[in-house]
Structure 1
Amino acid sequence: MKIYCKQIGPQSILCFFILLMSATLSAQEGRLVTSFNGEWLFAKDSIGLKKSIWTKVNIPHSWNKEDVTDDTPGYYRGVGWYKKNITIHPGLKGKKIFLYFEGANQETEVYVNGKKAGRHVGGYTRFCLQIDPFLNFQDGTKNEVLVKVDNKFNEDIPPLSADFTFFGGIYRDVYVVTANPVHFSFNRAANGVFLSTPVVSAKTASVHIRSQLINQSSSWRKLIITNLIKDHKGAVIAKKSIQVRLKAGAEEEYNQQIDAIVNPQLWSPENPYLYTVITQIVDAKTKRVLDLVSNPLGFRWFKFDAASGFYLNGKPYKLIGASRHQDFKAMANALPNAYHVNDIKLLKKMGANFLRVAHYPQDPAVLESCDRLGILTSVEIPIVNAITESEAFYQHCKDMQVEMIRQNYNHPSVILWAYMNEVLLRLKFTDDKPRQQIYFDHITRLAEQLDSLTRKEDPSRYTMISNHGDFKRYKQTRLIEIPMVVGWNLYQGWYSGNIKGFADFLDQHHKEFPEKPVMVTEYGADADPRIHSLTPERFDKSMEYSLDFHEYYLKTIQERPFVAAGMIWNLSDFNSESREETMPHINNKGLLTLDRQPKDLYRFYQSRLLKTPYVKISNWLLRGGLADSTVSRTNTQALKGISDDTEISQLSNTQTSKKPSRVTHNSAALSQDLNSHTSTQPLEVFSNADDVSLFLNGEFLKGAKTPSNRFIWQVPFKNGLNTVEALIKVGGKEYRDVATINFTCIPRVFAKGPVFDQLHVLLGAKRIYIDEDEKAVWLPDQVYQPGGWGHIGGEIFKMKGNARQSYGTDRNIIGTDRDPIYQTQNIGIKKYKLDVPDGDYNLVLHFAELISADVKEALAYNLDNSSQSEKVEERIFDVFINDVPVLQRFSPKEKYGALTAGSEEFKLTITNGKGIEITFKVIKGQPVLNALQLIKN
C-alpha cells in the first residue's frame, strides 16, 4: 500500500514510499514524515518530574489556556513535561531519524530512552534533533521520548518583556522524519535547499539554487543533484542536473543556476503565481532517489525608495495591511494549521496586501498561505522593549535571526527581515546617564551585528527595525540609520499626544532622513466591540473613536508617497496578560475579535481597500437611547402600579453578579404605545460606492454624511426591531446589505415618554456598553430633571496621578466579566432620582471601590503616563430609598474588597406617584455609585 508523506515546513512536500504488506520496508524514495502530535502525556511540575501527575494531551498544546485570563495576576511560567512512547520498525535500522518541532516555548530539552538528544533555545523558530543513536530498533520495543519545555523568564533569551503573553508548551506540530543516510541537511531546521532569483523581468528570469547535502554513510557517494521547475499546472519548464562526489561524514553546498526562463508569470498580490522547484538527490549508480524536497518559487522584483515608497515589479505599490499575533480565544497559541490559514484569508478578504509577522516567526502555515494568496510580508525576531547586555543574549539573538531566515528563505511573499521592535521603550539606568549611554552603545552594536548578519545571509531582501515614537532617542542611537528600512510604531492621539502629531512625525522623519525608506509598522486604538459612544473621546475604548482614529491615519499614510506602508496594529485582538482595561488581559486594537469576528474597523478597511463593489451596515445591532419626543398614552393602565402598598419591600440585600431577567410585556396596546416613539442615533454604512441609499423599515432616508467611505445617517429608530437596508448601484447592478437592529427606547420624562420597561445606567460615563449576554444596553448617566431620571450632585471619577486623559479606571475589576459597568462611577453623589410611574420594580445598585493601595505599573506604551496610584480614602456612607434605610455604614471596599464588583438588589413597590429617590448620606469620605439597573415587573 502507498503511504503519502505529510508536508513539513514551509517548503517541503515530501515523496511517497512503499510499505510492503509483509511489513518489511522496501527501498525508499526520499524521506518519510509522520505526525507525532497525538497521545502525549503532560505534567506541569515546578518541583520535580517524579512528583508529577500526568494527563493526556494532544499537540499543539499550551498549559496557559486558562490562567492568563483569570483575575489572579501573573500566569504559570515554568517547566512542563511531555512524554510519549514510539516503536520503531526493525527495517528502519540504518535510517536517520529526526524529531522535528515547529515550535515550543521557550527552552526545550529532548530525552530519548533517558539520554539527552539535544536542546533548543527560543520559542518561535523551528528545530530538528537526530534521535536514531538513542533508539532501540528491536521489534516491538517501546522507546520513551521525554520533552522538557520551560517558559520561565530568562534574561538571556528574548523577548524579555512585551505586550503579549509568553504561552508555554509544545504549541506547534511535531513530526518524526525518517531519511536515508545521504540527504539534504537539516541544519537550523531548514530543508537544505535555498532559492534566489538574480534576474527577473517581464521577459526573462533566472533561478539560483543552493543545495546543502550531508553524507552520514560510511563511504564516498557518487550523486546526481537534479532540479526541476514546474509551472502552476505541473508542466516541467526547466531541468538541470550536476554530478558530485561526497565523502563519508561530509556536509557540502552545491550551486546551480537555471537561466533564460522566458516570459515568466510574475508573482504579485493580484496574481500570486507560484512555480515549484523539485530538488532531488539521486544515487549515480543505482539511479535511486535518496532525498527530495519541493519549494515554492515566485518571480518578482521589488525596491524601497525613500522619496516615492515601495515598488513591485517596477510599479509603485502602496503596502496596506496588519500585524498578527498567533493566539485564539480559549486556545492560547496552540492552534491547528487551519486557524492560521483562516487568518490570512481574512486579511486577504479585507483587501490588504501586506502582513507584518510580529513579533516573532510564526507557524509555517502562515507564510505558505501568504505565498499562495498573495500577501507580502515582513518577519522578525522577538527583541522587544529592551536587551540584556550579555554575550549569551547576543548569541541567542543571532541564532534566532539565522534560523528565521534559513527556515523561511524560499517564500516569495517575504520582502523584509526585521530584528528589533521598540527596543528603547523600557529604558534602563535612568538615574545613571553615563551607564545608560553604555547600554545604548550595546544596543547599537547588537543592531549593527544583526543587520550585517542578515545582509550576509540574504542579500536579496531588505532589513528593518521598528521604533516607537521617541524620534530623538532613536536618532541618537543610530537605529534609524542602521537598517535599510525604518519602521515607526506611532500612536499619537492614543497613547500620547494629539492625533495631528502623526502627520507631523512622518514629515519630520522625511525632512531629517530624506534618504531613508520609511514604513508605519504599527498604528491603532483600542476598540472594545461592546462599547460605543455618541461623543467619542480618547481612551473611552469605543468603536467610534477607533474608527475616527483609523480614518485619519489611513488618509495621512495614503497622502504621503514617501510612506511605503501602513501596518494596522492588529489583525485581531490578542492576549496580553498584564493588561487590564475594559476587557482584562486582552489588547483590543484588533480589526477582528479574539475569536475572529469582524468589527466595524474591518468593514471600514474593506470599504477602502476592496476593488469589487462593497456595502456593509455597522454591526452595532443591539442599541438603546433616549426617546426623541412624547405621545399621549393609550394605555394608562400599563403605567399604573397594581398594588396600593406604599412601603418598600426589601427582599434582598446581598452581593450579586446577575441582574433580574427582563420582563416582556405582551399587551398589544402596550406594544403599540412603545412603538410610537423613536430615538435618533447615527448609523454607519461602509461602502466603496459613490452613493448609498438607506431604507429604514421600508422608508427611504436622506441626509447621509460621507467621511471617507463611511456613510452616516441620523436614524429615528423605533422601539423594538428595525429593518435597515443599504443599497448601492455599480455598473448597472445592485448590491445590498440588510440588518435587523433591536432598539430599546428609554423615556426622558416618564409621564410623556414610551412605556417604561427597563433602565441600565453607567454613572460617570459617556459611553454605551452593550451586554450581549444579558441583552441589555447600558446608557450613560445624566443630570436629573424633574419627571425624568438622573443623578444629583457628585462628579465623574478620574484617576489622579495620570498625565494622560483618564476615562474611569483601566484596572481589572475582580469578580465580573462586565468590567465597563464598574470602571466608572459618580464620586460624591448626593441623590439619584427616578420619577417612574407606580408599579413593582427590581432595583440593582452596582458598586466597586476603584482606589486601591496596590500600585500598578503603568503600561510602558502609555508614553506620558506614570505608575498608577492614588491616596486610599476610607469611605463609609448610608443609602436610603424613599427615606427607608437600606444600606447602613456601607463601604464597598470593606464588603467586596478593592477593585471588586458588588451589587445590591432591592424589590420595590411604588405607589401614589412617589417615584424612587435614592439618598446617599456621608459618614466618612465620599459616597460612590458605579451603575444602576431598574427593571419594571
Structure 2
Amino acid sequence: MIKQRLNEQWEHYRGSLGGPWEVWRADKLHNHYNVPWKLVTLPHTYNGYDVMDPDGKYYQGQGWYRNKLELSNPYPKGRTLLHFEGAGQRTDVYVYTEKVDSHLGGYDEFTVDITDAAARAKEIERYAGRVPVAIACDNSRELETIPSDASDFNLYGGVYRYLNLVYVPQVSLAQVHVDTTLQDAAGSRAAGGQVKIHAKLYNPSCANETVKLVIALKQQDGVQIGQAEMILPIWQGEQEIACFDVPAPSLWSTEAPHLYSCSVTLTCEDGATTHNECFGFRTFEFVKHGPFKLNGERLLLRGTHRHEDHAAVGAAMSEALIREEMTLIKAMGANFIRLGHYQQSRIVLDLCDELGLLVWEEIPWCRGGLGGPAYRKQCIDMLTAMIEQHYNHPSVILWGLGNENDWECDFDYFDQQDIRAFMAELHTLAHELDAGRLTAIRRCEFCKDIIDVYSPSIWAGWYRGIYTDYEASCLTAFEHVDSFFHMEWGADNLPTRHVEKPFTGFKQMKKSEGATDERDGDYLLTGGEPRVSRDGDWSETYFCEMIDWYLKSQENMDWLTGAAQWSFKDFSTPVRPDSPIPYLNMKGIVERDLTPKEAYYVFQSYWSEKVMVRIYGHTMPVRWGAEGELKTIKIYSNAAEVELFLDGISLGVKRRDSQNFPCAGLRWETALHAGEHHLRAVAVRDGVTVTDELRFTYQTASWGEPAQLELTTEALADGRVLVEARAYDANGVFCPDSAAFVRFGLAGDGKLLDNLGTIRGSRLVQLASGRAGIYVDPYGGLPAAITVRDFVSAGGPASSLAAGSGDKRTYTSVVSAICEGMPTRTVVIETF
C-alpha cells in the first residue's frame, strides 16, 4: 500500500452549482464562465470564520473542491482510492462529471474507489493525463439526519480532516482488528496474554487466488515477540488469521501507556501491501454501585471534553494543532476524555493511546428526538463505522450511543418508548460489534436502565442549585444506577474577566429539593428560575472557585468512578448568540486558540504530577478596593508548602491542604495600598523549586457609571497591533467592573483580526474587567480610523444588545501611532 496526503493545489468554491459540469465548464469555455474559485490547503472548512460572525448565522449549504491529480498506481491490476478521514456533512465525489460515490455523516471515515473512473478521465485530451476530481460537501440542514441543528455545536462543512491518495494491489487488506485477553491482570503486568488477529479483504474484482500473509508482533521498544506466515485462499467477511500467546505482557495504563504493534503483510499476484496497527493489553471495570478499576486497581477518572473546533480554522485542525491540544490536556493532569459529540479524528485517538487518556467516544445522536428509517439507519451506520474504525485503540473504554436524547424539538412527535426501543437496538449492536467495551449515554433518564454506564445531568452551581450541592447530587444519582459516571460540569467564563468578590447571589437560587440538573431552556440568558448561569458574573474568579470545590470534593468520594469538566476549550455554537462573545460556548479552561485561562492551573494543582505554582490573576492588571483594605491573594500549587512575597517582603509560608477551601489553604490576607505591586511565589516539591510572579496596580479611587472609552494601540513584534478600549467615568477614573458590550470597527487600510472566538479576536465583545481589545493587521500602514461603539446596558453579562438605552453621545480619544513616525490620530467613539 502506498499512501500520501492530498493537501495542496485544491481550489474551493463556497456555494451551490448546477452540477459537476459547472466545476469544469470554464476549462471548456476558456474562462468565459467564471466562478470565484479560491486556492486552499486541506484540511479545510468553509465555516472557519463565519461561525463566529456576530452579525449573522453561519453558512449551511454546498461547498465544492476541485483538483487535477497526477496518478501513477505501481500495481499492474491495482486500485486507486481516496481515503477521507472526515468530511461534512454529506459528500459526493466526482471524477470529471462522473459521480463515483456518496457518503452521509460528517465524522466517520470513508473510502472511495476511483480506479475505473480515473482511467476514463485520463482520456480527456485537455487534461493531458491528469485526472480531474471534484468533491461536493454539503452541511445543509435536514431533519432526517444526525446531528440535530439544536445541538450546542456547529455542523461544519468541507473536507475538514485529511484526505489521502491510496494505491493498493488487486487484493488488499481492508481492515485489521486486534483482540487481546489477559490472565490475572493487575498493576503493570499480567501472568499471560493472548492476541487474536482478524482481517477483512478488499477484493472488488472478485479475484480467486491464494494470498500470503506475514504477521509480526512487536513490543513498544521494537523487539519482535511473535511472527506467523501462511498461505490462505481469499475469504469473504472478517476472518481470524492468527493467534499468539504473549507471556507476562506489559499493561497499558494512563501513567504508563505501553503499546504493542501488529503488522500484517499481504502478498497477492499483483504485489504486496502492509497494514500496521497499535494495540495494548489492559482490563477495566465499572464496579456495580462502586468505583472504576483499571488493571484491577481503583482509578479516579479525571476528565474533560473535546470538540473539534479551533480559532480561524473551525474543525479543520492540522495534526500539529491537535497534538498541541491533546498534550495540553495531558499536562493538565487529565487521564480521561469524552469526545463530544461525534467520532473524532484518528489522530486524536492515536494520541489518546500514546499519552494515556481513557476515552468515551460517541455517535452524534444528539438532541432533537428520533426520526424515521433513514435517520435510524444513519445512527446504525455511524455506530458501526466508529466501532470498526477505532476498535484497536486501548484508550477507548466506552461507546456513547447518544447525548441528551430527552431533548425534543425536531419533530412534531416525541415517543419515549420508541426512543427506548431504538436505544436498546444500538446497545445490542455495540456489544455484537465489540464485546470488550461498554455502552454509555448522558442525560436521558428514561433510558438509563438500558445501557451499561449512565451520566445524569448535574450542573450544581451553574444551571441549577449551588456548587456546594455537588457531592449530594452525585450521591443521589449514584444510588439509582448500576454504574454512575459524571459527564459535564462547569461554568461559562469570559477570559480576563476577574472580580474582587465572586458571585454571592446563592440565596436567590431556588433550591428545588436540591435539584442541580439542567433543563430545557436553562441555557438561555433570560427567563426561568434564578440561576448562576443567568444571574452570575461569568468571571474566571467564580469558575476557579467552582472548580476548586468540585475537585476537593472528588478526592473524598471513594465510590466515584470519575467526572469530566465541560469543556476543555471554548468552542463555537449556533445556539448562544447572546454570549459575551456571541456564538461562543465559554466553559473552556483554555481559549479557542489554546491560550490557558486561570482555570487550567487550578486543575493542575489537583491533578498534575509535575510540580507547579500559579498566582491567581495574571490577566488581572488592576485590582481595586479601599486604601489599606485586606485583600486575599490566592495561589494554586501541588507543592506541600508555598511562600509568598509582596514587593520583596515575605508574607509567610502556607501548607497545602486540599480540603481547606479555597486554594487548598494557599491564600494570604494582606493590606494593599494604592499603586504598583509585585507578587512572587516560591514552591518546592521533591527537591524541585518553581516560582511564579506577576505585577498589578491597586486602584483605590472610586468610580461612577462608565461615561467614556479610551482607545490605545500597541505595536507588537510580529507586526500586529493590539487595540484596547478601556472604560472611564465622567471624572476620568477607570471602571474595572464595567461589562458593557463594545463593537470595534475599522476604516481604511488594514483589517481587524476578528471572528476568532477569543477575547482579543472578536469585534463584538463584552468588556472584561473594564477593558476589551482586538488585534489589527495594519498592512504596513495606519488605518484611517478605528471605531468603538459602546452599548450601555444595565443587565448582567448576558444582556441583549438591544437592551442599550439613552441618548447617543460622542467622545473623541487620542490614539497613539501604530508605526513609528506615523502621526497621532483622532478617533470618534460613539456611545449609545
TM-score, normalising length: structure 1: 0.70
Residue identity opposite 1:523 in structure 2: W
Q: Cα deviation per residue 1:322-381 (whole Å; 9 max; x = unaligned)?
A: 001121111211111111111111111111101111111111111101111111111111
1:562 aligned counterpart, secondary structure: coil
Displacement of 1:216: 4.0
Displacement of 1:594: 0.9
- Which of 11, 16, 22 matches 1:41? 11
- Which of 271, 275, 278 matches 2:256? 271
- Which of 670, 674, 677 matches 1:722? 677
Is 2:460 aligned against 1:492? yes
Is 2:494 aligned against 1:551? no
Residue identity opposite 2:200 in structure 1: Q
- Which of 35, 57, 78 matches 2:40? 57
Aligned position for 1:618: 616
- Which of 471, 475, 480 matches 1:503? 471
Is 2:644 aligned against 1:694? yes
- Which of 78, 91, 96 matches 1:108? 91
Is 2:302 aligned against 1:334? no
Contact preservation (8 Å) 1:421, 1:466: yes
Residue identity opposite 1:226 in structure 2: V
Contact preservation (8 Å) 1:322, 1:571: yes
1:134 aligned counterpart, secondary structure: helix
Taking a change above 3 Å as real, the CA distance of residues 442 and 343 of structure 1, as seen in their structure-2 partners, is same
- Which of 294, 313, 328 matches 1:312? 294
Is 2:124 aligned against 1:127? no
Displacement of 1:796: 12
Contact preservation (8 Å) 1:272, 1:372: yes
Residue identity opposite 2:58 in structure 1: Y
Pick which of 546-555 and 335-344 moved more: 546-555
Q: Cα deviation per residue 1:735-767 (whole Å; 9 max; x = unaligned)?
A: 23232313153424xxxxxxxxxx79659xxxx
Largest Rg, 1 or 2: 1
Residue identity opposite 1:742 in structure 2: F
In the alignment, the residues of structure 2 paired with residue 90 and residue 611 of structure 1 have an alpha-carbon distance, to the nearest angstrom, of 50
In the alignment, the residues of structure 2 paired with residue 509 and residue 596 of structure 1 have an alpha-carbon distance, to the nearest angstrom, of 33
1:554 aligned counterpart, secondary structure: helix
1:518 aligned counterpart, secondary structure: coil
Aligned position for 1:209: 197
- Which of 418, 423, 442 matches 2:418? 442
Contact preservation (8 Å) 1:111, 1:147: yes
In the alignment, the residues of structure 1 paired with residue 116 and residue 180 of structure 2 have an alpha-carbon distance, to the nearest angstrom, of 39
Contact preservation (8 Å) 2:91, 2:137: yes
- Which of 252, 267, 292 matches 1:282? 267
1:506 aligned counterpart, secondary structure: helix
Taking a change above 3 Å as real, the CA distance of residues 874 and 328 of structure 1, as seen in their structure-2 partners, is closer
- Which of 298, 301, 306 matches 2:283? 301
Is 2:85 aligned against 1:85? no
Displacement of 1:265: 0.8
In the alignment, the residues of structure 2 paired with residue 396 and residue 823 of structure 1 have an alpha-carbon distance, to the nearest angstrom, of 48
In the alignment, the residues of structure 2 paired with residue 775 and residue 682 of structure 1 have an alpha-carbon distance, to the nearest angstrom, of 28
In the alignment, the residues of structure 1 paired with residue 488 and residue 538 of structure 2 have an alpha-carbon distance, to the nearest angstrom, of 18
Displacement of 1:427: 5.0
Give the unaligned 5+ runs of structure 2. 23-33, 504-531, 655-659, 708-713, 715-720, 741-758, 772-786, 815-829
Taking a change above 3 Å as real, the CA distance of residues 744 and 822 of structure 1, as seen in their structure-2 partners, is closer
In the alignment, the residues of structure 1 paired with residue 287 and residue 688 of structure 2 have an alpha-carbon distance, to the nearest angstrom, of 41
Is 2:558 aligned against 1:561? yes
Taking a change above 3 Å as real, the CA distance of residues 245 and 500 of structure 1, as seen in their structure-2 partners, is same
Contact preservation (8 Å) 2:677, 2:697: yes
Residue identity opposite 1:738 in structure 2: D
Residue identity opposite 2:279 in structure 1: L
Displacement of 1:497: 2.6
- Which of 350, 369, 375 matches 1:368? 350
Residue identity opposite 2:791 in structure 1: A
Displacement of 1:703: 8.3
Displacement of 1:823: 11
Q: Cα deviation per residue 1:201-254 (whole Å; 9 max; x = unaligned)?
A: 3110001111112334564212233321111121211123343112xxx63432
Aligned position for 1:662: none
Residue identity opposite 1:563 in structure 2: L
Aligned position for 2:695: 741
- 1:425-504 equivalence runs, <5 A: 425-427=407-409, 436=414, 439-467=415-443, 474-475=444-445, 477=446, 479-504=447-472
Q: Cα deviation per residue 1:611-641 (whole Å; 9 max; x = unaligned)?
A: 3332222243442244643xxxxxxxxxxxx
Aligned position for 1:386: 368
Q: How many residues align structurally?
A: 711
Displacement of 1:931: 8.9
Residue identity opposite 1:275 in structure 2: Y
Is 2:147 aligned against 1:159? yes
Is 2:217 aligned against 1:229? yes
- 1:497-896 equivalence runs, <5 A: 497-513=465-481, 516-537=482-503, 538=532, 539-579=536-576, 580-626=578-624, 628-629=626-627, 681-702=631-652, 707-709=662-664, 711-716=666-671, 721-731=676-686, 733=687, 735-748=689-702, 773=722, 816-820=763-767, 848=791, 890=807, 892=808
Residue identity opposite 1:819 in structure 2: Q
In the alignment, the residues of structure 1 paired with residue 293 and residue 697 of structure 2 have an alpha-carbon distance, to the nearest angstrom, of 49
Taking a change above 3 Å as real, the CA distance of residues 774 and 407 of structure 1, as seen in their structure-2 partners, is same
In the alignment, the residues of structure 2 paired with residue 359 and residue 683 of structure 1 have an alpha-carbon distance, to the nearest angstrom, of 39
Is 2:65 aligned against 1:76? no
Displacement of 1:47: 5.5
Q: Cα deviation per residue 1:118-160 (whole Å; 9 max; x = unaligned)?
A: 0000111111010101012769512110111001111121111
Taking a change above 3 Å as real, the CA distance of residues 906 and 728 of structure 1, as seen in their structure-2 partners, is closer
In the alignment, the residues of structure 2 paired with residue 905 and residue 815 of structure 1 have an alpha-carbon distance, to the nearest angstrom, of 23
In the alignment, the residues of structure 2 paired with residue 904 and residue 126 of structure 1 have an alpha-carbon distance, to the nearest angstrom, of 56
Contact preservation (8 Å) 1:747, 1:788: no
What's the C-alpha RMSD, in Å, of the aligned pairs? Answer: 3.7
Displacement of 1:257: 4.7
TM-score, normalising length: structure 2: 0.78
Aligned position for 1:255: 240
In the alignment, the residues of structure 2 paired with residue 518 and residue 690 of structure 1 have an alpha-carbon distance, to the nearest angstrom, of 32
Pick which of 34-43 and 138-147 moved more: 138-147
